[in-house]
Amino acid sequence: MLMIVDLIINAIITFIPVLIVIAFTILFERKLLGAIQRREGPNNVGLFGLLQSFIDGFKLIFKENILPYKSNKILFFLCSLLIFVMSLSSWSLIPISEDSTNVDSDYTIFIIFAFSIINVYFIILAGWASNSKYAFIGALRSAAQMISYEVYFGLLLLPIFFFTKSTNLVDIILMQKECWFVVPFYPIFIMFFVTSLAETNRSPFDLPEAEAEIVAGYNVEYSGLSFSFFFLAEYNNILLNCSYIVIFFFGGFLFGSWSSPLIFFIKVFFLVSIFIFLRGIVPRYRYDQLMLIGWKKFLPLILGLCIFYSIIIIFFPLTQYIFILCFLLISNYYYFYYWFRIVKNDK
């Protein structure tokens, strides 16, 4: 009985702050997009509109939950709830300090991958259970997009695992005391960042929610509390993917000799602001362009970089940073030239 009470208390301590952070992230996005588009963001509810997200949440909770005709009512509600629970559970595996004993394991990263992959099934079931062609098409597009970029999500981390000789997230962070991995693994960071945008269905890769094509994607039939679960899960996944970028490329909770959870969250919100900024300035890609970038452009680049970094790490263990930096200086121009050609051309 005491064990169950402890689990409940730990869950409350972990998840309530996360929900508050998600609420302020939504507010931050609306404020920043308002500044980009030269308009005012939320400013009526609370001081400077600080309570707007909480009022929106209460509104969704008390709205009527409309069930589509001939929908699978059990799956219809469970899918939205499980997507939210799975995305929220991943925070228990994120090391925000050196004393995060619950994530001090070599298998943590595989559990994170498992949580991410399971969400694909819930999205497909949510679209199917709605008994709507628009929702099902959105679910298929979202699943194809997430599965495609999930492959690169894992491949891009292989050179970091080779270099650190560990899959333990805390060990990876501690090895960045002298130099953040964004320096030697700069091309991998760029592709990992783009992959994170596609993985979270964010602009310019928010194809499942392309309003002009399929209304609003897999959650078009959801309303009230069920819709709020999808909404919160989306923003939670943005925070999670920014956390992964901070862990693997920006030293996690470290800043020189300083170590603090506050440092970790400052880095995360810096990356979140870039996510939001891109939504305000970059137009949406077509679906065929998204798949073209993934399978025909990114995959050869990722495999080539994995081979290159593996050779450097194996055969030049003492001078790997020098060789990698020389590679960056030589290939920087050609890499960005090739990247802008990908962005510019449809073929």
Last residue of a domain, one of 31, 62, 93: 62
In this structure, the answer to whether residues 32 and 87 fall within a common structural domain is no
In this structure, the answer to whether residues 56 and 70 fall within a common structural domain is no
Q: Whose CA is closest to 232, among 75, 2, 18, 59?
A: 18
Q: Which domain holds residue 2?
A: 1-62
In this structure, the answer to whether residues 109 and 20 fall within a common structural domain is no
Q: How far apart are CA 119 and CA 137, in angstroms?
A: 17
Q: Give yes or no for a contact between 123 and 269, defined as CB atoms under 8 angstroms apart.
A: no
Q: What is the pLDDT of residues 165-214, one digit of tens each?
A: 888 888 888 888 888 888 888 888 888 888 888 888 777 777 666 655 55
Q: What is the pLDDT of residues 103-160, one digit of tens each?
A: 667 778 888 888 888 888 888 888 888 888 888 888 887 788 777 777 777 788 888 8
Percent of the chain with pLDDT over 90: 4
Last residue of a domain, one of 254, 286, 318: 286
The DSSP call for residue 338 is H
Q: Return the SS3 of 248.
A: helix
Last residue of a domain, one of 270, 286, 302: 286
Mean pLDDT of 315-343: 55
Give the count of domains, the chain: 2
Q: Return the SS3 of 104.
A: coil
